[in-house]
């Protein structure tokens, strides 16, 4: 599959000409008859034709466009879909599968990579849990969506990102579209004086809530951070330095006024990890520390909870007060409800420990597992205010203890592979690129302890694309850049 053919065939010229004619006709018809909805038809057809001609380029473009997709929860009788990206993902998924079948070539070397094997195990258990689901249709729909995200942006991402230049084409495009979304949100938010109360839904229609918004745009933070402070290594002209610095300021301000405490915490942790990378601390040592802290937390959970109950600082428009409210599990409704959902997940897995209740079923099944003494003023049985509020608890309740182990192993193996690439490569740009995607992933992994958004394209695309980039850097670029063209 050629990404950008230097010579266009006669058939391709005819198709491209047809696209232009179709678009021109659609615009003319919409203008004359003031039926502006008509323009979406030629645009959709044009997108399909261009995707057929430039399949891989289209995948990167629509993947990068995810921050600007508009989610519709009531499409076709309650069927939700993100527009215009999700229909294109489905089409590209089918098109790429057909191309692989036609070519009949699979890179076996890629399939041997430990992280690829772990993703395959994760997908396999996802479908096994769906077979034994308490709501099979819900689980199949959920698993299908996750499968095409993983197939497109992880498996095909590995294939595309073998050309190093395409890694930064995607990262740059994703950052540009993210900045457009942030700029729009900040303009809308400024009308309300950047208040916390207005932040919850100000990113609509691109994001349903401020948590998903902050988690998504945090993926772009370290792209801009490294582009800004390592201009020469990425072959940017020095002229772009002030522009990049301004863009980084805009993105940072967007994250701050999102009032999303989980994302603030995730950035602090990511910078801490970057510090550990700078002094070359082995991941095995970090893992031992994490395991020790986790074990201590489980053993001393009663004492820890007692200490946390002393904090009664609620959510606040003041940044200092809002940060302090992170550990308030006494009066803060958001924190109390999150604990309520986690306890429900624990009771659910106790009832179905092997396969869980099925992927995507938490919101439909957790209600009966709530206790009246743990309900909060924002509690609900319908799950309309989020689900398990944790990727880890969600995996546990929906796919059993094995699902939790597989998901946790996938996270740890991804981080371990990122550390390995950064420490083993002698190529400066590869080291920096690995740092960008690893730190971006860590922002979400930390966020995922407190929330779960990986079923949405806003997070699923960068999550799996960044993971694919780590695999590619390890397999193909660690000892020298492959197919190096103009990187940016």
Range name among 20-29, 115-124, 241-250, 289-298 with the lowest pLDDT average: 20-29
Is residue 263 within 8 Å of residue 214, measured between CB atoms? Answer: yes
The 10 Å CB-count burial string (b at 16+, else e) for 308-345 is eeebebbbeeeeeebebbbbbbeebebbbbbebbbbbb
Q: For 99-122, how does the pLDDT look when each residue is reduced to its tens digit (9 = 90+)?
A: 887 776 677 778 899 999 999 999
Q: For 146-201, how does the pLDDT look when each residue is reduced to its tens digit (9 = 90+)?
A: 999 999 999 999 999 999 999 999 999 999 999 999 999 999 999 988 988 888 88
Using the predicted structure, report yes or no on whether residue 310 has a pLDDT greater than 50. no
- List, in order, residues 6 or more apart from 115 with CB less than 8 Å away: 410, 413, 414, 417, 467, 470, 471, 474
Residue 311 pLDDT level (bands cut at 50, 70, 90): very low
Token digits of residue 466:
């960044």
Is residue 147 within 8 Å of residue 432, measured between CB atoms? Answer: no
Residue 197's pLDDT is: 83
Token digits of residue 295:
């074990």
Token digits of residue 157:
């991402």
Token digits of residue 461:
């695309």
Place of tokens 């076996």: 108
The torsion angles phi and psi of 202, rounded to 5 degrees, stand at -70, -20
3-state secondary structure at position 20:
helix
Q: For 38-79, how does the pLDDT look when each residue is reduced to its tens digit (9 = 90+)?
A: 556 667 777 887 888 888 899 999 999 999 998 776 655 555
Mean per-residue pLDDT, 248-256: 96
Any long-range contacts for 202-208 (C-beta under 8 Å, 24+ apart)?
Answer: 203/258, 205/70, 205/71, 206/67, 206/68, 206/69, 206/70, 206/181, 207/71, 207/181, 207/458, 208/71
Tell me which residue of 171, 182, 189, 187 sits closest to 213, measured CA to CA.
182
Residue 6 pLDDT level (bands cut at 50, 70, 90): very low
Residue 244 pLDDT level (bands cut at 50, 70, 90): very high
User: Using CA atoms, how far apart are residues 411 and 179, in angstroms rounded to an integer?
Assistant: 27
User: Using CA atoms, how far apart are residues 181 and 206, in angstroms rounded to an integer?
Assistant: 8
Helix axes 40-53, 85-103, angle to 10 degrees: 30
Residue 79 parent element (H or E): strand 79-83
Inter-CA distances, 219 with 36, 172, 258, 439, 445, Å: 35, 12, 15, 8, 11
Using the predicted structure, report yes or no on whether residue 7 has a pLDDT greater than 60. no
Residue 100's pLDDT is: 81
Mean per-residue pLDDT, 399-405: 97
Strands 70-75 and 79-83: antiparallel
Residue 301 pLDDT level (bands cut at 50, 70, 90): low
- List, in order, residues 6 or more apart from 467 with CB less than 8 Å away: 115, 119, 154, 414, 437, 441
Residue 101's pLDDT is: 77
Is residue 69 within 8 Å of residue 207, measured between CB atoms? Answer: no
- pTM value is 0.88
Residue 263 pLDDT level (bands cut at 50, 70, 90): very high
Residue 454's pLDDT is: 93
């Amino acid at each position: 599959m050629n990404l950008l053919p230097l010579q266009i065939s006669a058939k391709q010229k005819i198709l491209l000409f047809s696209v232009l004619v179709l678009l021109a006709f659609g615009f003319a018809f919409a203008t004359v008859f003031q039926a502006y909805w008509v323009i979406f038809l030629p645009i959709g057809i044009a997108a399909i034709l261009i995707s057929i001609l430039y399949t891989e380029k289209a995948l990167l473009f629509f993947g990068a466009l995810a921050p600007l997709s508009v989610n519709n929860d009531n499409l076709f009788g309650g069927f939700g879909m993100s527009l215009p990206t999700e229909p294109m993902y489905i089409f590209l998924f089918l098109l790429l599968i057909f191309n692989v079948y036609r070519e009949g070539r699979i890179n076996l070397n890629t399939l041997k990579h430990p992280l690829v094997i772990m993703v395959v195990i994760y997908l396999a258990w996802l479908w096994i849990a769906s077979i034994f689901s308490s709501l099979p249709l819900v689980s199949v729909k959920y698993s299908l969506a996750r499968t095409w995200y993983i197939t497109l942006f992880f498996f095909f991402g590995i294939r595309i990102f073998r050309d190093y230049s395409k890694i930064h084409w995607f990262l740059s495009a994703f950052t540009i579209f993210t900045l457009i979304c942030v700029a729009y949100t900040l303009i809308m938010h400024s009308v309300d004086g950047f208040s916390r109360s207005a932040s919850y839904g100000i990113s609509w229609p691109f994001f349903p809530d401020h948590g998903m918004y902050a988690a998504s745009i945090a993926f772009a933070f370290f792209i801009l951070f490294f582009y800004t402070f390592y201009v020469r290594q990425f072959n940017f002209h020095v002229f772009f330095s002030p522009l990049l610095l301004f863009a980084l300021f805009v993105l940072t301000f967007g994250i701050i006024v999102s009032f999303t405490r989980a994302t603030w915490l995730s950035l602090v942790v990511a910078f801490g990890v970057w510090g550990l990378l700078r002094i070359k601390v082995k991941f095995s040592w970090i893992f031992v520390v994490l395991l020790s802290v986790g074990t201590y937390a489980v053993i001393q959970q009663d004492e820890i909870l007692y200490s946390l109950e002393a904090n009664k600082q609620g959510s606040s428009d003041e940044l200092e007060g809002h940060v302090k409210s992170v550990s308030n599990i006494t009066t803060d409704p958001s924190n109390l409800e999150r604990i309520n959902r986690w306890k429900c997940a624990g009771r659910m897995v106790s009832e179905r420990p092997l396969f869980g209740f099925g992927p995507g079923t938490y919101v439909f099944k957790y209600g009966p597992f709530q206790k009246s003494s743990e309900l909060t003023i924002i509690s609900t049985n319908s799950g309309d205010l989020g689900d398990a509020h944790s990727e880890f608890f969600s995996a546990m309740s929906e796919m059993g203890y094995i699902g939790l182990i597989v998901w946790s192993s996938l996270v740890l193996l991804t981080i371990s592979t990122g550390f390995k690439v950064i420490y083993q490569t002698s190529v400066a740009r590869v080291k920096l690129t690995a740092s960008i995607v690893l730190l971006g992933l860590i922002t979400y992994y930390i966020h995922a302890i407190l929330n779960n958004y990986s079923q949405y394209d806003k997070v699923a695309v960068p999550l799996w694309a960044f993971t694919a980039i780590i695999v590619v850097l390890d397999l193909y670029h660690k000892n020298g850049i492959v197919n190096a063209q103009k990187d940016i």
